[in-house]
Structure 1
Amino acid sequence: MAWNWTLPDFRYDASALEPFEQQFLVSSGEILGAVHHVSQPEREQLRIELLSEEAIQTSAIEVEILDRLSVQSSLRRHLGRDPDSYPTKPREQGVAEMMVDVYSSFADPVAHETLFRWHRMLLSHDRQLDTIGTYRHHAEAMQIVSDRLDRPTIHFEAPPSARVKPEMERYAAWFNKTGPGVAEPLPALTRAGLSHLYFESIHPFEDGNGRLGRALAEKSLAQNIGQPTLISLAFTIEKERKAYYDQLEQHQKTLDVTEWLVWFAEVVLKAQQVTLDRVGFFISKVHFYDRHKDQLNERQAKAIARMFREGPGGFEGGLSAENYIKITGTSRAAATRDLQDMVEKGALNRTGERRHTRYWLNLDQGIENLS
């Protein structure tokens, strides 16, 4: 099998990427404009929510489940905000620290130490790894395999460890010379897509390559627009996880990567729309609490906060009386009164009858309401 790292340079059809590149710039402006509608203190909270979602989803792609509240508490601490009383855990603290570093140092060039630092942040809790904060050096081949141990399917084989450092020298040089305003600038989506595939093809670390590769793609996008993107890239990739791995596997065996770049560009544009939706939802949440502050009792406030944590999609199928009872620990009679009271105050909308009755947050249109 001829893996892509044994062959000459990548090639692709730049004209196929042009409409995606144009839309990316338009959508980037829309996101920046939407965020400016939020006050500075609220912008800090929005940043924590978006960063925590990315931290959770980039780990979920690797089938690692994180504690959301611990991630958010760690983010507050690393961003210099007053941490809450929720305990931070080593795994969550590490990924939060890395996300903040990616965010705050987006303009810096890529160097070995950049990646070593991220790797230490991400995996310092893992006592099973032989090498943390440096490239792999084991003699055996680095392979992505599945199926039976005695008859494995080899999906990819990375360069041998002895080649990793020189390959990463070339990678860093390529990354740094293709950014905006330098020797060989590339359009935003093209550069980010190539940077991710290129990094994954070297697979320089014993573990954590996927998370670091996605961080590099976000760093690349941020450099091209001149500020941190905060787009929901990992969230969107996680929703298309199988296609993501299929695309990586396919294009680690060929140098014509047009199909990969188109797929990646489509994912980034979807991620931008998810971000716009999330910003709109956050603005609606601020307006909701402005309208209903001091109107909700303790049980109602707890249930509303739980509904907001579900995100723009809300509870699947809507909030039921049974959900409300479980969240608040109250009686059915009190739940009925509380829910009816919130409908009358305009905090909730109600659909259905009897056991099919469901409740939904009554939100304004977020970004649309500001235009």
Structure 2
Amino acid sequence: MDTSSPWIWRRADWPEDALAYDAHQTASDLAEAYRTYGLLEGKATTLGLGRTSEVALDALSDEVLATAAIEGERLPLDAVRSSVMRRLGLATSGPFNRSVDGLVDVICDATSAIDTPLDEDRLCRWQSALFPGGTSGIHRIAVGRYRDHVDPMQIVSGRPGREVVHYEAPPSKDVSMQMERFLLWFADTSPNATSAMSVRGKPIDGLARAAIAHLWFETIHPFEDGNGRIGRAIADMAVAQHLRQPVRLYSLSRQLLASRAAYYDALNQAQRSQTDVTAWVQWFARQSTAACHAANQVIDQAIEKRRFWEKQEGIALHERQRKVLQRLLDDGDGGFLGGLNAEKYMKMTGVSKATATRDLSAMVASGQMRGHGAGKALRYFVNVPGWTHGITE
């Protein structure tokens, strides 16, 4: 064992003490993550959000788009959306994309079949689904099996001759043994395990378990490609096993994408750890909190939309007026840049200027919209309590 190496997997106490964390130091961050999630779950329950609700569809689509974007891959939104809808049994005429379908299947399998054991076969099927053509870009890769190349598995950056090695994973010959230990730990620490493992004599917190599982898997880096996406799916699975929430309400990958540089830095620091992974668990918990905050804002907007439409019951509105109002609501407070005027209304609905002016005046009179300015500067904004649209009066 080369103890001079900086990598955590070379430590003599790997993985036992090397993947331990201080429950006392992480308590406040974990508690805040659960508190924020509780608020999110409560709002979702109040709205009666199901697995096919718009919020749930957006959260799953965001997870797919973001986990790919973290790896530098931009997926087509329409293909992602249609794939998500098909996976949830909803009708769609959107495009098919085998790679997108594979990623959607992996994420959905990880968070729905949470009581199905995580084993080598399942992980290899996940990785196969990510690369249906057996290639990553134009390069052929090992698909459906652990890596077996003799060259070091390294994460590098920089120009040839000036490369910087950010991380080096265990050699391929050790991957099977390393993964066997990881999968045994994942099974033994599952909330459904008959005698769950503990860390330093205390039960492993569910969110901390997700953080450790993600770090451990990324440290082994068992596949030739796809490790990041699979590692995040494993973290999602661990969270789902703990929370037992059938509806996806937030996207952790969206938050990790927003903090991408910090995400890689936190992983790299944890993989060089000389003590334990307390700092990594704290960082992971804070990202979960931030992801729930973002989802709470989305649900708050959904609640505002519902309240808005409830107030319109009994008021006669043409379908084109409803369409425009919904667009303004979807864009949020100040989201419709520059406000709405008669010309924009004409383009959105295809009506004449006289009809546009009449429709807008009627919606102001009925309270759905409010006007600001006069003459050519007159703009209209959807009338939602608390929305300022960036106007200071």
TM value normalised by structure 2: 0.80
Counterpart in 1 of 2:61?
Answer: 52
Q: 1:267 aligns with which of 287, 290, 295?
A: 287
Q: Which segment drifts farther, 345-354 or 186-195?
A: 345-354
d(CA) in 2 for partners of 1:356, 1:93: 47
Change (3 A) 1:301 1:258: same
Whether the 8 Å CA contact 1:146–1:154 is kept in 2: the answer is: yes
Q: 1:107 aligns with which of 105, 115, 124?
A: 115
Correspondences of 1:82-161 after superposition (within 5 Å): 83-125=91-133, 127=135, 128=138, 129-161=140-172
Counterpart in 1 of 2:302?
Answer: 282
Q: Which segment drifts farther, 206-215 or 28-37?
A: 28-37
Identity of aligned residues (%): 37
Counterpart in 2 of 1:64?
Answer: 73
Counterpart in 1 of 2:6?
Answer: 2
Matched, 1:19 2:38: no
Change (3 A) 1:154 1:26: same
Q: Which ranges of structure 2 fall in alignment gaps of 5 or more residues?
A: 198-202, 387-393
Q: Which ranges of structure 1 fall in alignment gaps of 5 or more residues?
A: 366-371
Q: Aligned letter for 2:100?
A: E
Change (3 A) 1:43 1:80: closer
Change (3 A) 1:117 1:353: farther
Q: Post-superposition shift, 1:338? A: 5.4
Counterpart in 1 of 2:39?
Answer: 30
d(CA) in 1 for partners of 2:166, 2:117: 31
Larger Rg: 2
Change (3 A) 1:297 1:191: same
Whether the 8 Å CA contact 2:328–2:336 is kept in 1: the answer is: no
Q: Which segment drifts farther, 37-46 or 26-35?
A: 37-46
Q: Aligned letter for 1:70?
A: A
Correspondences of 1:1-371 after superposition (within 5 Å): 1-7=5-11, 8=14, 9-39=18-48, 44-81=53-90, 83-125=91-133, 127=135, 128=138, 129-182=140-193, 183-184=196-197, 185-228=203-246, 230-255=249-274, 256-289=276-309, 291=311, 297=318, 300-304=321-325, 306-307=327-328, 310=331, 315=335, 317=337, 319=339, 321=341, 341-349=362-370, 360-363=381-384
RMSD: 3.2
Change (3 A) 1:199 1:335: farther
Whether the 8 Å CA contact 2:250–2:292 is kept in 1: the answer is: yes
Counterpart in 2 of 1:368?
Answer: none
d(CA) in 1 for partners of 2:237, 2:134: 25
Q: Post-superposition shift, 1:13? A: 2.1
d(CA) in 1 for partners of 2:316, 2:244: 42
d(CA) in 1 for partners of 2:131, 2:271: 25
Cα deviation code 1:189-237 (max 9, x no counterpart): 2111111111111111222211111111111111112234532211111
Change (3 A) 1:289 1:353: same
d(CA) in 2 for partners of 1:210, 1:79: 24
Change (3 A) 1:18 1:142: same
Change (3 A) 1:352 1:29: same
Cα deviation code 1:38-85 (max 9, x no counterpart): 34668544322221121112222222222223222211211222x222
Change (3 A) 1:205 1:301: farther
d(CA) in 2 for partners of 1:66, 1:112: 27
TM value normalised by structure 1: 0.84
Whether the 8 Å CA contact 1:179–1:186 is kept in 2: the answer is: no
- SS of the equivalent of 2:71 reads coil
How many residue pairs align between the two structures?
A: 363
d(CA) in 2 for partners of 1:42, 1:97: 15
d(CA) in 2 for partners of 1:296, 1:174: 59
